[in-house]
Amino acid sequence: MRQVRVFFHNHCFDGSASAAVFTALYRSARGEARFAYSGLTHKASGLFDGADFSGDDNAIVDFKYSPDPRVTWWFDHHQSAFLTPADAEHFRLDRSGQKFYDPNYGSCTQFLADVGQKHFGFDPAPLTELIHWADIIDRAHFPSAQMAIELQQPALQLTLAIEGSTNPELLQRLIPDYLQAPLAELVARDYVQRELQPLLARHWASMDLIRSRLECRDGVIAFDLSDLEQEGYNKFVPYYFCPEGVYSIGVSRSQYRMKISVGSNPWHTIPDMVNLAQLCERYGGGGHARVGAISFAPDQAERAREVARELVAELRATMTRGDAPG
């Protein structure tokens, strides 16, 4: 039986859902196989260091392109999908028929489902709930900030567990389970609840922490959590406390990186929004037009704060001028 290794955007609902949909697509198109799952994380350097491309097939979903010849499948929707122009050219010249890219999609899960249906005769209907919620979550298509932070829906509780858990076994179990049960049943399972309950407590505590540290001025929200190990906060909290804010810049720390999160308010937009992926790319980061991030090494806290200050100043200047940065 063929061995398939699936590499996905770690700590991300869309990334894990993409891995599950790819599993179903592969089985539909190529037959039964053994699957192993590995999360990939955006770091300051060496995105694919340690990636074990040892399967008969190796797939990357919801993550940047790798020209490694052992990578046989690739799906992504991020504007910043290519590390270098050479990588983009490598993709353009690919003739495998198994590598796909479209930055117009809100979620990689929906992209995978549509590509699978169009090119491989894949039926995504059994995974409609998973695909639906991945698209809502990755596009931040919530009707209100309250819905995004109150976490009443099973998919949003799973998102909190996925983003905040440090247990590598969680997604190893959850990805194949997506194919077997509805989300409400999954979130109630003991192995999910063990991760979720302390994260829910931390979520409510982090709301107070962010509220105490954020500054909202000239349409830009800024806050710094870099003195704490608290990367996995809800990215919609700043807009809950500052609904008039258009952009948010947050600095946070984890064991493996300093991170600047750059976002925009889904419920308060203006004409000529700044392309945040392009803004982040100037500092080695990337993302989508409306949300992005930049990673630094764990010992580069002051550099991360410095860049965050530059971004805040630039975005505030665009708000007062009414134009976008060049």
Claim to verify: residue 225 and residue 180 sit in the same structural domain? no
Distance CA 214, CA 224 (A): 8
Q: What's the rounded Cα separation, in Å, for the pair 183 and 203? A: 20
CA distance 101 to 133: 21
200 belongs to a structural domain: no
How many angstroms separate the CA atoms of 87 and 154, rounded?
38
- Paired residues of 35 in beta bridges: 4
Residue 326 is predicted with a pLDDT of 36
Residues 132 and 276 in one domain: no
CA-nearest of 144, 309, 312 to 217 is 312
pLDDT at residue 136, rounded to an integer: 96
Q: Does the residue 206 lie in any domain?
A: no
Give residue 149's Cα distance to chain centre.
17
Q: Is residue 202 included in any domain, yes or no?
A: no
Same domain, 180 and 37: yes
178 in Cβ contact with 129 (< 8 Å): no
| 21 in any annotated domain | yes
Please check whether residues 239 and 90 belong to one and the same domain.
Answer: no
CATH number at residue 301: 3.10.310.30
Q: What is the pLDDT of residue 160?
A: 95
Calculate the alpha carbon distances from 13 to 121, 246, 285, 298 in Å: 25, 24, 20, 24
Q: Is the dihedral of CA 280, 66, 55, 114 positive or negative?
A: positive
Sign of CA dihedral 196, 202, 204, 210: negative
Domain span at residue 68 reads: 3-190
Which of 190, 206, 239 finishes a domain? Answer: 190
- Given 145, 174, 190, the domain boundary residue is 190
Return the pLDDT at 44. Answer: 62
Q: What element of type H or E holds 132? A: helix 128-139
pLDDT in tens, the chain (326 residues): 999 999 999 999 999 999 999 999 999 999 999 999 999 987 766 688 878 999 999 999 999 999 999 999 999 999 999 999 999 999 999 999 999 999 999 999 999 999 999 999 999 999 999 999 999 999 999 999 999 999 999 999 999 999 989 999 999 999 999 999 999 999 999 999 999 999 999 999 889 999 999 999 999 999 999 988 765 688 899 999 999 999 999 999 988 889 999 999 999 989 999 999 999 999 999 999 999 999 999 999 999 999 999 999 999 999 987 554 43
Same domain as 132, residue 22? yes
What is the pLDDT at residue 325?
A: 41
Two tokens, residue 130: 């998973």
Q: What is the CATH number of the domain that holds 18?
A: 3.90.1640
Spatial distance between the Cα atoms of 15 and 285, rounded to a whole number of angstroms: 18
Q: Distance of CA 315 to CAs 30, 45, 265, 299, Å?
A: 48, 26, 13, 26
- The pTM for the full model equals 0.84
Is 186 in the same domain as 121? yes
Task: Output the pLDDT for position 230.
Answer: 67
Tell me: do 11 and 118 sit in the same domain.
Answer: yes
Listed in sequence order, the residues at least 6 apart from 199 whose beta carbon sits closer than 8 Å to its beta carbon are 160, 161, 164, 165, 232
Number of domains in the chain: 2
- Alpha-helical (H) ranges within 142-189 are 145-150, 154-164, 169-178, 183-188
What is the CB-side half-sphere exposure of residue 156 using CA atoms within 13 A?
19
